[in-house]
Amino acid sequence: MSAPQPVGWVVAGAGWVASDHMAPAIAASPGSRVVAVVDRDLAAAERLAARFPGARACRDVAGAAAVPGAQVVYVATPNHAHRPVVEDAAAAGLAVLCEKPLAASLSDARELVAACAAAGIFAATAYDQRFHPAHRTAARLVASGALGTVTAVRIVYGCWLPPDWVPENHPGHDNWRADPARAGGGAYVDLAPHGIDLVGALLGEDLVRATTLQQQRVQDYPVDDGSVLVGTTASGVLVSIHNSYNTADTLPRRRLEIVGTRAQLVATNTMGQDAGGRLELIDAADGTSAPVPFDTGLSPFTAQVQAVEAALTDPGRTAWPYPMDRDLRLLGLMHDALPVTTSDDFEELLR
């Protein structure tokens, strides 16, 4: 019996996250390979494709769909371009892993989710923090009851993102994350989705109610550079998520706390692109702290790739636990958490 062929990935968007993190993660998994790279800038697609044996550069998903072995499209374009790329992938019958947030507007997000459902394809949102080994370890500890009754989750996830920020080793790129038309917002839209999703992954229950305050205090651009969301799950766990583009990278800026009646989990510097950081368990009985080991060698991006592999190659045994309808609902909650009347009003503020 011949060995199964690796899952063939099309990388749509040759920017920083795709080229520095996701594409290498695909190549690092024995069960996957990059077969094509799509970018409107064909030269950028060619540069990234050249790093992976046999990969082709294409201008659009339609061209990549014809590449032998193409099965799933990883969508890493700026947010405003997610919908057309996902719709083209769905029309070609390819599976989709779309970067968060699903789109720059809630209406586009609804349309792309509907397109995937109508095509009957596997479709998921790329939340790599779900798969960070420290966070998966934390979720197992919560499920085991080691923390007792969980009362609160507190997340701080920030960075320094000035208007002229350019990813290292990516000259010629611009900071589209500060462009309301392409990003759909600022720090809140970019970073809060990670925390909102992660609450559900850690607790096994999602946020159901939230409100948010934003700031434009430091960076000179027309989107927020900081936000604080507060909310609650259905069972009453209180959640706070502080995101920022105005916290110096030299300062403490990545921290996750899960507070329980028996113990508290504290994760420091785990929210990021690699598998680093520290996880510790603090005993409520005497306040002693003990490190919690986790796999520091498995990239959250590679773990995400392997989860998609399993869902595509053995769907009967491996059900994807995060349906896109759920991700869309949480995106709607995030939009509605802003101090405006409706999500449509939110979109109007971005115009």
Q: Which residues contact 251 (CB under 8 A, 6 or more apart)?
A: none
Decide which of 342 and 8 is more confident: 8
pLDDT of residue 80: 97
- Residues 255 and 279: their CA atoms lie apart, in Å, by 10
Crossing angle of helices 324-336 and 343-350, in 10° steps, is 70
Quick check: 226 pLDDT over 90?
yes
What's the mean pLDDT in 96-111?
Answer: 98
Model confidence over 310-343: pLDDT tens digits?
Answer: 999 987 767 899 999 999 999 999 999 998 644 4
pLDDT > 70: percent of the chain: 95
**pLDDT tier for residue 246 given thresholds of 50, 70 and 90:** very high
Kindly list the distances between the CA atom of residue 182 and the CA atoms of 30, 53, 82, 284, 351, in Å, as whole numbers in the listed order.
34, 32, 10, 46, 11
Q: Distance between CA atoms of 116 and 94, rounded to whole angstroms?
A: 10
Mean pLDDT to the nearest integer, 227-253: 98
User: Contact 32/309 with Cβ under 8 angstroms?
Assistant: yes
Query: For position 2, what pLDDT does the model report?
Result: 58
Main-chain phi, psi angles of 288, to 5 degrees: -75, 150
The pLDDT tens digits of the residues spanning 109-153 come to 999 999 999 999 999 999 999 999 999 999 999 999 999 999 999
Q: Would you say residue 169 has pLDDT above 80?
A: no
Which pTM value belongs to this model? Answer: 0.94
Q: Given this model, what pLDDT does residue 22 score?
A: 97
pLDDT exceeds cutoff 70 at 348: no
Distance CA(84)–CA(297), nearest Å, equals 35
Mean pLDDT of all residues belonging to the chain: 94
User: Which tens digits make up the pLDDT trace of 33-81?
Assistant: 999 999 999 999 999 999 999 999 999 999 999 999 999 999 999 999 9
Are 75 and 158 contacting, i.e. CB atoms less than 8 angstroms apart? no
Listed in sequence order, the residues at least 6 apart from 236 whose beta carbon sits closer than 8 Å to its beta carbon are none
Average pLDDT over residues 145-170: 94
Instruction: Assign 294 to helix, strand or coil.
Output: coil
Residues 6+ apart with CB under 8 A from 335: 106, 343, 346, 347
